Amino acid sequence: MRVLVIGAGLSGLAAACHLLGDGHEVTVLEREDQVGGRAGVLLQDGYTFDTGPVVMTMPDLLARTVAAAGSNLADLLTLERLDPGYRTVHSDGTELRVRADMADLRAEIAAVCGPSQAAGFDAFLGWLETLHETEFAPFIDTNYNSLLDLLAQPRAAARLLRLGAFGTLDGAVRRFFTDPRLHKVFSFQALYAGVSPRQARALLAVIAYMDTVRGVWFPRGGMHAIPRALAEAVTRAGGMIALEQSVTGLERDAGGAVRGVRLADGSALSADAVVCTLDLPVAYERLLRDLTPPRTATRGAYSPSCVVWHVGVRGALRPEVAHHNIHFGADWNGAFTALIRDRRLMPDPSRLVTIPSLSDATLAPAQGHSLYVLEPVPHLDADLDWRDEGPRMRDRLLGFLDTSGYPSDIVTEHLVTPLDWAASGLARGTPFALAHTFRQSGPLRPSNVDRRVPGLVFAGSGTQPGVGIPMVLVSGRLAAQRVAEYAVRRTSRAVPV
Ligand SMILES: Cc1cc2nc3c(=O)[nH]c(=O)nc-3n(C[C@H](O)[C@H](O)[C@H](O)COP(=O)(O)OP(=O)(O)OC[C@H]3O[C@@H](n4cnc5c(N)ncnc54)[C@H](O)[C@@H]3O)c2cc1C
């Protein structure tokens, strides 16, 4: 079949790899002049800044994706496992490094938090491994047609129940550790999914498995090398990537089935199937105006957003500084209440400082570093005017860099606020899509197909399975599987038996 993919973000490129592997003729249409979408790059005054994801986990999913298109990941990308994966800095001044080797991490926990916590870590590791093994293939890496599909895996569901996976994440982590620093280290990942550890189901501990156990990785050349590698796999397999091609509408036949797309220059392209990776509610708003979007997409709870301050600095780093540095605020629960319930800035913010030039010196001039400073903030439903708040936030972040011991001799800078995320086409001004509350996860998250539009398939963080690099790569595979099912249905209709 001839398949058009709208969007050359990670999900669109992943879908293209799998579609090519299935033998389809594939063209990816991208609005911007570069691939990557949210995984973009900014080159400014000799500094290279990754503008989106910085924590890369589960490289095997990336390898699986390019392998589907006949490529070998090692030929396209050089990945390094970071050690430590994270340096965590706590409000009492202590530091704990999430070491790459589990024996080293155990020793670090014993040294910083005491031997009883290290014993808890042994049990926690075993639990995480079993959780991931039980959850990933049957519940994440799968297409759902209805809620009833959950019943198709009764053994796995019963096992998850026994593991306490439907209790809260906070409760699960507390079963293994009494030290509040470890509660943070092993449950902050809930924020990636837009929920607080007290609200999140323990199912989300699978994210801690992905970064702690399977490791945090960094590609040579920066994170943007990931979409470039995927794009290379697509073109090597015979796929086309057309940049600066904005899709403005879908062509549909009388029965509603998709027949192609319309482009901003007024031209049209025909297709047998279309994979759409626009943020899901925005896809309905812009391309499917005649259809009511799924209720969750319009009325659902959205993840908090973030401010990212890209700073090119001059000066040396202190020896303890790592590639990823998480600075936890003291009032942990208060931070989530502010961000999620009250839609306010965190009174005592937790922040991420990522320094890619520490791992790849080509990303900053000599004697300089490129810093990525991220603070989670409420999405645009909050009563905050970012035109005023942006400059104030920038000054607070500068003060934070200074007091936390980072070089703050600024050569160049660029601040990104929720207004910028909204302008790039992300609902509620958040790059993290619908929150992964229980009611917005698995089969309860908006489906990747809409029965009213046969031949149209969604991929990306607004649909199943969800947000983040591993999940959107999976969503690309699931989209290709939907196209394959559609191809079979079309063929069986065309050739009656
Ligand atoms: C600041 C930030 C930090 C993050 N941190 C992490 C992290 O550390 N680890 C992690 O795993 N994940 C992280 N994420 C999340 C991760 O980046 C996203 O989940 C993922 O990149 C989304 O990919 P996507 O393909 O769904 O969407 P996108 O990347 O948004 O791709 C959609 C594409 O469609 C294009 N497009 C839109 N409209 C049209 C149109 N009309 N016509 C043609 N093309 C169009 C867009 O230009 C874009 O290229 C982060 C994201 C951000 C922004």
Q: What is the pLDDT of residues 313-368, one digit of tens each?
A: 999 999 999 999 999 999 999 999 999 999 999 999 999 999 999 999 999 999 99
Q: How far is CA 346 from CA 107, 169, 338, in A?
A: 32, 21, 6
Residue of the CA atom closest to atom 16 of ligand 1:
468
pLDDT at 43: 98
Q: What angle do CA 36, 65, 5 make, to 5 degrees?
A: 50
Q: Does 442 share its domain with 296? A: yes
User: Which residues form ligand 1's pocket by a CB distance below 6 Å?
Assistant: 6-12, 29-32, 37-39, 52-55, 246-247, 277-278, 306, 308, 425, 431, 460-461, 467-469, 472
Q: How far is the CA of 11 from the centre of ligand 1 (A)?
A: 8
Residue of the CA atom closest to atom 36 of ligand 1:
7
Q: Does 439 share its domain with 484? A: yes
In a domain, 416, yes or no: yes
In a domain, 87, yes or no: no
| Contact between residue 96 and residue 112 where contact means Cβ atoms under 8 Å apart | yes
Whole-number Å distance between alpha carbons of 261 and 264: 10
Q: Does 384 share its domain with 333? A: yes
Residue 497 has pLDDT above 50, yes or no: no
In a domain, 86, yes or no: no
Residue of the CA atom closest to atom 7 of ligand 1:
53
Residues of the chain above pLDDT 90, percent: 96
Residue of the CA atom closest to atom 26 of ligand 1:
460
With a CB cutoff of 8 Å and minimum separation 6, the contacts of 111 are: none
| Contact between residue 479 and residue 448 where contact means Cβ atoms under 8 Å apart | yes
In a domain, 98, yes or no: no
Both tokens of 471, joined, read 């999940």
Q: How far is the CA of 278 from the centre of ligand 1 (A)?
A: 9
What is the tens place of the pLDDT at every residue in 129-184?
999 999 999 999 999 998 888 888 889 999 999 999 999 999 999 999 999 999 99
Q: Does 179 share its domain with 110? A: yes
| Contact between residue 464 and residue 143 where contact means Cβ atoms under 8 Å apart | yes
Q: Does 285 share its domain with 332? A: no
pLDDT (average), residues 422-426: 97
Q: How far is the CA of 9 from the centre of ligand 1 (A)?
A: 6
Q: Report CA 383 to chain centroid distance, whole Å.
A: 26
Q: Tell how strand 2-6 and strand 25-29 pair up.
A: parallel
Q: Does 24 share its domain with 120? A: no
Nearest atom in ligand 1 to the alpha carbon of residue 7 is 34
In a domain, 214, yes or no: no
Q: Does 363 share its domain with 405? A: yes
Q: Does 291 share its domain with 249? A: yes
Residue of the CA atom closest to atom 18 of ligand 1:
468
Q: How far is the CA of 74 from the centre of ligand 1 (A)?
A: 24
Average per-residue pLDDT for the chain: 96
Q: How far is the CA of 468 from the centre of ligand 1 (A)?
A: 9
What is the tens place of the pLDDT at every residue in 290-323?
999 999 999 999 999 999 999 999 999 999 999 9
With a CB cutoff of 8 Å and minimum separation 6, the contacts of 408 are: 313, 315, 398, 401, 402
Which domain covers residue 170, as residue numbers?
103-209
In a domain, 93, yes or no: no
Nearest atom in ligand 1 to the alpha carbon of residue 476 is 25
In three-state secondary structure terms, 79 is strand
| Number of domains the chain is built from | 3
In a domain, 290, yes or no: yes
